[in-house]
Structure 1
Amino acid sequence: MLTIHAAERVRRTWDSASLEGGAVAVEGGRVAAVGPLAELAERFPGARVRRWPGVLGPARVHEGPLPDAPTPREQVHAVLKLGAVAVLAEYAGSRELRAAAERNDVAVLERARPAALVDLGRADLAVLDDGGACIATVCAGRLVHRRR
C-alpha cells in the first residue's frame, strides 16, 4: 500500500532547506517521491496520508553504543525510538544484537553515512519535534515508532 507521510516541513537531508507543507510518498520499502503534499496527493490518488507535526527527514544513523536495555530486541527498539534505523557494526558485535537488528530491518554499517531522502532509495524516515526529539520513525517503509 502506498502511504504519503506529510509534515509541516520536509528535508531531504538535515542540512538542506526545508520544504514547507512537504511530503514523502512511500511504496513498500522505497521512497516513491518527495515533494509538496498537494502534488503527491494528485500523483498518487488513493494513497493513505499520515500527517505529522514537526519536521520530516531521513532517519538517523546511531553512531554510539546502543542504549542499555534488558534484551537485544529492546536495545534495537530504543534506537528506533531515537529516530535511527542504522547502527555501527562496532557497537553491534554480538550475534543476538545483530539478529535483533536484522529482524527489525535496522542496518548495521561499517561506518557512518550521510542520511538523505532519495527517490527509489530505502524509505527510512524520522519525524522530529522543534526540540529535535523523535515523534515517529519509519524503517524500510514500516512505521516502527510513534510517540503517543
Structure 2
Amino acid sequence: MLTLHTAELLVPGPGSAPLPGGAVVVDGDRIARVGPYEELAAAFPHARTRRWPGVLTPGLQVRGADELLERTYYPDDPYEVPELGAEPISGEAALEALKMTEARWGNSARRGTQKLLARGVVAVCGRFTIASVRTAVTRSGLLILPPAAYEGRPALDPLAGRDTAGEAFHGHLEPGVVARFAVFAVADGAELLAQGATTCVATVIGGRLLHRRR
C-alpha cells in the first residue's frame, strides 16, 4: 500500500534545505519519493494520505542504549509505580535491591523501547548482552547499531547534549531507503532542539506507524 506522509515542514536530513509542505511517499517498507506535497499527491493519486502537524524528519538515533535498557529499570505503570515511583531506576545498589532476572529485564526493555519510539527514535547504538533485552529491542523494530562514543550519561532524549537537531538524525529521507522517520510538533529544527524529542507525534519504521501520540 502506498502512503503519503506530509507535514508543515520536511527536513530530509542533516544539512538539507527544509521543504515547506513537503511529503514522503512510502511503498511497503521503503521510501518511493520525496518532494512537495502537491507534486506527489498528483503523481500518486491513490495513495493514502497522512497529514501531520509540525516537522517531519529522519528518525532519531540514541547512543548508549545498552546503558538505557540493560542498566536502567522502567517500573511497570500502574502496578509498580506506587512502590517504586514512575522514574527510571539505575545504579548498582538500586538494581540489586530489585533482584533483577532476565525475564524482568526483558519486560523493562519493552517499556523502555516504547519510551524511545515515543521520542522519534528509530535506531539505537549499543551492545546488548542480555538475551531478553536484545529480543525486546529487535521485536520493537528499532535498528541496532554498533556502540558510538558519547559524553556524560546517555539519555532517552537523543537531542540532549547535541548542538543541532541534525546530529541526532539517522540517515536521510530519499528514494529507496527504508522508511524510518518521525514527526515533531514544532516549527523547525531549532525549536525541536530547544523543546526536545518529547514533542514527537509519530514514529514510522519500515513503513509501519509504531508510535502515534494520542
* TM-score over 0.5 for the pair: yes
Give the corresponding residue for 2:32: 32
Q: Could you say what the CA RMSD is over the residues aligned between the two structures, in angstroms?
A: 1.7
Match of 1:77 among 82, 104, 114: 114
Where do 5+ consecutive residues of structure 1 fail to align?
Answer: none
Q: Counterpart of 1:52? A: 52
Q: What SS does the aligned partner of 2:176 have?
A: coil
Letter in 1 for 2:5: H
1:137 equivalent in structure 2: 203
Shift of 1:16: 2.1
Amino acid aligned to 1:139: I
Distance 1:47 1:119 in 2: 16
Q: Which amino acid aligns with 1:8?
A: E
- Computing the radius of gyration from Cα coordinates, the structure with the larger value is 2
Runs of 4+ in 1 over 3 A off after TM superposition: 111-114
Match of 2:68 in 1: 66
Q: Would the aligned equivalents of 1:4 and 1:48 in 2 still touch at CA under 8 Å?
A: yes
Equivalences, count: 147
| Structure-1 separation of matches of 2:129 and 2:26 | 31
**Identity percentage of aligned residues:** 44
Mapping of residues 82-121 of structure 1, within 5 Å: 82-90=119-127, 92-111=128-147, 114-121=170-177
Q: TM-score, normalised by structure 2?
A: 0.64
- The structural deviation recorded for 1:111 is 4.3
Structure having the larger proportion of residues in helix: 2
Which amino acid in the other structure matches residue 181 of structure 2? L
Q: 5+ unaligned residues in a row in structure 2: which ranges?
A: 76-107, 149-168, 193-198
> Partners in 1 of 2:10 and 2:176 — Cα distance?
17
Higher strand share: 1
